[in-house]
Amino acid sequence: MKLILVLLLVVALAPIHSLAPAQRRQFLQNAAAVLGTAILPTLPASATDLGGSVVYGEERIMSKKAHGTSDKPVQSDLLYGVSNELADKISNYNRQFAERAGYFQFTSLEDEILKASESKTPITFYDSVTGKPLFVAPIGRSADQFLQESKIHGWPSFRDQEVVWENVRVLKNSGETVSITGTHLGHNLPDRKGNRYCINLVSIAAPPSA
């Protein structure tokens, strides 16, 4: 009986790419309930618009505001042991430069990723300024694969399915990846696998919102 249900699900998935991210996720959750199995990892309720095609934004997102390109400084209680001073400089007063390559390997990020993987729970990364969810990883790959790719390139590297597009935009002319409120995050550097968002850990290190 379950085999028949699986086959029906495969057929039903054919047009799923045409759905909006939130609709696609709801479809898979309903299917999982029917099959009695988990198709998707547990995700936070805040990550409602996760995955799908890249969403482009306009240059005006990064216009001058009260605190650089943002309305305020980064939060004071950033995670992973990152530098608040560096976080504020990279996130709010920068459009091109980045934390040094491999910086994340000198933080607690790897330990946190591996710890979360034991319960098959991805980590949500929050905007260091606003606290809004920006990325959820790993999705569609293992923790080891996520970490390996990030180490090869030198920065946490996210794929389309790991982006919370409700809060993230890519500037089309430059590939600069930013939050909708003006936080500089990094750049989209596509490779043969598709879009790869090379992101500064200092820009996505806020704790979960209460």
Kindly tell me if the per-residue pLDDT of 205 is higher than 60: yes
| Residue 144 backbone class (left: φ over 0; alpha: ψ -120 to 50; beta: rest) | alpha
Interval 4-54: pLDDT, tens? 444 344 444 445 445 555 555 555 455 444 444 444 455 554 555 799 999
Per-residue model confidence (pLDDT) at position 210: 52
Strand partners, 50: 164
Interval 103-138: pLDDT, tens? 999 999 999 999 999 999 999 999 999 999 999 999
Give the pair of three-digit tokens for residue 28: 């898979």
Interval 130-182: pLDDT, tens? 999 999 999 999 999 999 999 999 999 999 999 999 999 999 999 999 999 99
What's the pLDDT band for 99 if we cut at 50, 70, 90? very high
Global pTM? 0.80
